[in-house]
Structure 1
């Protein structure tokens, strides 16, 4: 199952949340779960979860978001938080109180695919809102501007790695997706994200893409856009980067 969990955060007085704190929260999370789980995830190149912290303007609250792509990841990462009332952030030297856990999204790879394949009409496009800094890596270098090819490549990789049944591996699928998706609006700004003393450059903001081409291709674009909030996009999604919300149009 794909699950998207959010936990309200109560920060100490005179402190505030910042998306770059995602790596700090990840460290705190690894100290809570079973040592064997933390060791296993440490050695995984592509992890079955994403997490980030951000400020939600609508709820006027700091939130900790954890997306899990397998039942095992949910059980290893999220279930242990039921018994944890607060997180000690070692780097900040203060404690953050955790509010009631909220499951804001739940589906399966099969149901997600079926939702778009069986819909009366194909989606016309999607809007992508960055909740934390997004960046990509290509040919050993970071790419700070979101590129739809890199976005789709990231999502296809996660889908085909963690979906046990439905696979999206058709020949030239990535090329077809990219050539039938057009950027129509955007508002982006450069931003930096600190991870273990290193600075990664990326961007924040929002984008709108329109889909065109044959019917099933647009449905596949919708499927990938719907996956993004659970999986995150780009590099370091387990450490707080690449968190997004998407609206399918």
Structure 2
């Protein structure tokens, strides 16, 4: 069965490059360009135009070390071979769009089995789930950007992404989404707006948000476990639009991560 794989590259910024959390996340489009330089053109063509990609990537600032963490996440084995394997041994990352080169100081890799993710469906249920939107997140509906999250927007997006990657179609049953919506509400939140720029503050900006929120769930345990599993999937897939460009990175703050089938592996 497929594995979900995460590769994290710790990047040392050049001396002349001042980094903030917002600036770190805005590097996503440039890192996507770097990633595509290492990916086989046949694979890139095969995923081009898909409604949801089988990988995500984003960049965050480790404020303790001052290093940038570039996180690339593959949702199946094919994406891991195509997207992650070519980057395992790189010693520098050049972002042509801004004319900067970052040295790779450390590389780590970890994976979980898809089975361990699916096991959450039959595990112990919880009635609350807190999530952290790590990088700017937004949705698109009827041609317009939505930058206030709702349970429907979040869970429908995650469900469609999951079905696309593992079922070959992003279609979801509207009755299921409506049923989930009826049994969920946002019980608390700490969100703020943050634009996502395609070019480091220049050009088109996407209205988005970052922060945390807590979902409260009622209804039967299978429903709660489905939400739990989809949120755990979101830690790898991201949520919302442009997750391959650095948007929508998601972290679950309540214990719901499936057990890792393989320990973290330091590559360099």
TM-score (structure 2 length as normaliser): 0.84
Checking the alignment, whether the CA contact within 8 Å between 1:145 and 1:203 is kept in structure 2 is yes
Which 5+ residue runs of structure 1 have no aligned equivalent?
none
User: Which residue number in structure 2 is paired with residue 126 of structure 1?
Assistant: 129
CA RMSD of aligned residues (A): 2.2
Correspondent of 1:214 among 220, 235, 238:
220
Correspondent of 2:245 among 229, 239, 243:
239
1:162 paired to 2:201: no
Q: Deviation at 1:60?
A: 5.4
Correspondent of 2:13 among 11, 14, 20:
11
1:54 and 1:211 map into 2 onto residues whose CA distance is: 30
Q: Deviation at 1:32?
A: 1.8
Correspondent of 1:75 among 72, 76, 81:
81
User: Which residue number in structure 2 is paired with residue 62 of structure 1?
Assistant: 68
* Other structure's SS at 2:185 match: strand
Deviations 1:165-199 (A, max 9, x none): 9x995662111212212212111111111126321
Correspondent of 1:51 among 18, 32, 57:
57
Cα distance change of structure 1 residues 42 and 50 upon mapping to structure 2, 3 Å threshold? same
* Other structure's SS at 1:187 match: strand
User: Which residue number in structure 1 is paired with residue 147 of structure 2?
Assistant: 144
User: Which residue number in structure 1 is paired with residue 94 of structure 2?
Assistant: 88
Q: Deviation at 1:63?
A: 0.6
1:178 paired to 2:181: yes
Deviations 1:74-116 (A, max 9, x none): 11011001231111111111101123322244221x3312134
1:173 and 1:57 map into 2 onto residues whose CA distance is: 41
Cα distance change of structure 1 residues 28 and 171 upon mapping to structure 2, 3 Å threshold? closer
Checking the alignment, whether the CA contact within 8 Å between 1:225 and 1:248 is kept in structure 2 is no
* Other structure's SS at 1:223 match: helix
User: Which residue number in structure 2 is paired with residue 153 of structure 1?
Assistant: 156
* Other structure's SS at 1:9 match: strand
The ranges of structure 1 where at least 4 consecutive aligned residues each deviate by more than 4 angstroms after the TM superposition are 57-60, 167-171
Deviations 1:15-61 (A, max 9, x none): 22520110010001111222222333333332111110011346654
Q: Deviation at 1:4?
A: 2.4
TM-score (structure 1 length as normaliser): 0.90
Checking the alignment, whether the CA contact within 8 Å between 1:50 and 1:240 is kept in structure 2 is yes
1:241 and 1:98 map into 2 onto residues whose CA distance is: 22
Checking the alignment, whether the CA contact within 8 Å between 1:4 and 1:68 is kept in structure 2 is yes
